[in-house]
Amino acid sequence: MAFTTSNSYYWKGFRDGSPFVFVAIPFGTLFGVLATEAGLDIYQTMTFTATVFAGAAQFAALQLLQENTPTMIVLASALAVNLRMAMYSAAITPHLGAAPMWQRAFAAYFVVDQSYACCTVRFEQEPDLTIQQKMAYFFGTVSPIAPLWYIATYMGAVVGTQIPDSWALDFALPITFLSMVGPMMRTAPHVIAALVAIIVSLLTTTVPFNLGLLIAGCAGMMAGAQAELLFERKGAKT
């Protein structure tokens, strides 16, 4: 009985996650293309995409690698892009924290924007789900996305070297990131965080080793957090 109900939640998750394949396919392909252009072979590209499993951070690492950034700074900056995964992990812990360790370890790998987004919505709508149902739903959301992400990366890596310069792929990354940033601007503190980060990053381009990125990122985070506090206090007064 418990099995059939969690089974049906797996398929609910599968359905809710399905629209995201239209994001995973183009992003995966683009990563494959850009990684190949940067000089990674297919083996490296696929290991990268399968073990890291986080588009934005992978793109960030590629970009910094091409700018001759020291290895440690590439790692720190790209992982900083992935700090939001820690936040997602924190946010779904109240829901999935009671599951057995091996399931949680397995689930941790699949914590991405899409699974997090689906789960927050569903678990808020149906707070009475059992831990089995929640886990089933969680794995359901990533089931359509993950395989297509790997396949798309592979396809991109195969065709990557044949794409001519006139396609201006140098700008695919900025456009993709900017497009991801727009929908993130949900509140005034988000906008403030982004603006501060942009200004500081433009002012710190001469700082060696691309450290400007980390400085700008920290400045933006602090600005966002402070702005949130400020708006909360204002809201409390009025």
Among 7, 18, 42, 65, binds other proteins (CB under 8 A): 65
Largest CA distance in the chain: 63
For residue 211, give Cα distances in angstroms to 58, 75, 92, 192.
18, 12, 32, 21
Rounded Cα distance between 187 and 236, Å, is: 17
* Comparison of 133 and 176: residue with beta carbon closer to other proteins: 176
Touching other proteins, residues 11-30 (CB under 8 A): 22-23, 26
Among 130, 161, 174, 230, binds other proteins (CB under 8 A): 174
Examine residue 125 and tell whether it contacts other proteins (CB under 8 A): no
Which span (10-18, 64-72, 125-133, 155-163) binds other proteins, by CB under 8 A? Answer: 64-72
Rounded Cα distance between 114 and 96, Å, is: 16
- The per-residue DSSP string of 145-173 comes to HHHHHHHHHHHHHHHHTT--GGG-GGGHH
Size of the site for other proteins (CB under 8 A): 95
Binding-residue pattern over the window 176 to 215 for other proteins, x denoting contact by CB under 8 A: xxxxxxxxxx---xx--xx-xxx-xxx--x------xx--
Which span (4-12, 126-134, 147-155, 217-225) binds other proteins, by CB under 8 A? Answer: 217-225
Least distance CB 3 / other proteins (angstroms): 23
204 class by beta-carbon count within 10 Å (0-12 exposed, 13-18 middle, 19+ buried) = middle
Among 1, 3, 4, 71, binds other proteins (CB under 8 A): 71
